[in-house]
């Protein structure tokens, strides 16, 4: 939800709690720095924990998602490799106990009501989780982040508790699934998609293919 709709545009499906999404945004930032023209980013929320949520939206950590120790060890190695490749420091590799739904709900509200502030808020959320190890599921943390980027704190607190906004967000999650997005990050340009935290040169090819 940024920048010049008349120029190049990339769609990004992402979940804040996904380390590869954070790394993907770092790669995207590096690519954008190489460009002479702005690149609009359209964020689409995605819930990695959709299959583990209770009816009230809380996460049931006892649900078997098929991810065993070997999966997490391989993922850890991949995160560390990409950190080295992109030159990114992270204070944690995983954030399994953090629920990103409140952050996504707040971010979706900002993208709709304060689109010119969304990029700063989005960046603040990622930094809070992956650089500062803060719980972005906490309304107090989200309020603090909102204040840091000159957003109205009371509105952000209300957005996190808004059932109508949560329903709207869930519609966006289902829309992503209907479009065939099954993992994040996923980058899309003119209907062509690439998944994973790909390097800046890969994003350059995706955007400049036309």
pTM: 0.92
- Where exactly are the structural domains of the chain? 8-207
DSSP string, 80-99: HHHHHHHT---S-S--TT--
Element (H, E) at 204: helix 200-207
Q: What is the CA radius of gyration of the chain?
A: 17
From 3.40.30.10, 2.40.128.690, 3.30.450.20, 3.40.190.10, which CATH number describes the 8-207 domain?
3.40.30.10
**What does the pLDDT profile of the chain (210 residues) look like in tens digits?**
443 444 699 999 999 999 999 999 999 999 999 999 999 999 999 999 988 888 888 888 888 787 888 989 999 999 999 999 999 999 999 998 999 999 999 999 999 999 999 999 999 999 999 999 999 999 999 999 999 999 999 999 999 999 999 999 999 999 999 999 999 999 999 999 999 999 999 999 999 985
Residue 50 is classified by DSSP as G
Phi, psi dihedrals of residue 188, rounded to the nearest 5°: -135, 130
Tokens for 177, please give them: 């699934």
């Amino acid at each position: 939800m940024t920048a010049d709709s008349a120029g190049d545009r990339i769609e990004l499906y992402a979940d804040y709690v996904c380390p590869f999404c954070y790394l993907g945004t770092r790669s995207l930032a590096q690519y954008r720095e190489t460009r002479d023209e702005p690149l609009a980013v359209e964020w689409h929320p995605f819930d990695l924990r959709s299959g583990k949520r209770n009816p009230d939206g809380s996460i049931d950590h006892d649900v078997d998602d098929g991810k065993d120790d070997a999966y997490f060890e391989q993922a850890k190695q991949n995160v560390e490799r990409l950190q080295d490749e992109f030159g990114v420091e992270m204070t944690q590799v995983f954030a399994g106990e953090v629920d990103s739904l409140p952050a996504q709900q707040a971010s979706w509200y900002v993208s709709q009501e304060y689109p010119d502030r969304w990029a700063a808020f989005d960046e603040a959320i990622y930094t809070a989780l992956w650089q500062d190890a803060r719980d972005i599921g906490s309304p107090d943390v989200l309020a603090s982040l909102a204040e840091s980027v000159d957003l109205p704190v009371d509105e952000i607190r209300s957005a996190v508790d808004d059932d109508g906004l949560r329903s709207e967000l869930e519609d966006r999650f289902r829309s992503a699934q209907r479009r065939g997005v099954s993992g994040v990050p996923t980058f899309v340009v003119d209907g062509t998609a690439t998944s994973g935290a790909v390097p800046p040169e890969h994003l350059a090819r995706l955007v400049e293919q036309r």
